[in-house]
Amino acid sequence: MTIERKNSFHLLLSDDELKLLKLLAEREGLNASDYLRSLLRQMAGASSTAVQVMRLGAHLELGKLAERWARPETKSALRKAPKRGR
């Protein structure tokens, strides 16, 4: 049985925030909407201590992703296929 989704919520994000959201979602094999829904459900069912840990982990993870994305060599590596030795 599928869940009927009839509500829409618009979220304003910067370009960087949207890129990070998509990267996090892709890492989990989800699209951005499914990723946010799963995160909401995890946080709703967790204790306040666990939520604080999740927030800290997300903050640290976003920082790592932002640092990696900001490096010029990472950007070019993401755009080009790696060279393979013969």
Polymer length in residues for the chain: 86
Q: What is the mean pLDDT of residues 67-72?
A: 67
Q: Evaluate whether 21 touches 11 at the Cβ level (below 8 Å).
A: no
Closest residue by Cα to residue 7 from 46, 35, 37: 37
Q: What are residue 11's phi and psi, to 5 degrees? A: -120, 125
Question: pLDDT for 16-65, tens place per residue?
Answer: 889 989 998 999 999 999 998 888 888 787 777 766 666 666 666 666 66
- pLDDT confidence of residue 75: 52
Name which of 22-31, 61-70, 74-83 the model is least confident about: 74-83
Domain range list for the chain: 17-78
**CB-hemisphere CA count at 13 Å for 50?**
8
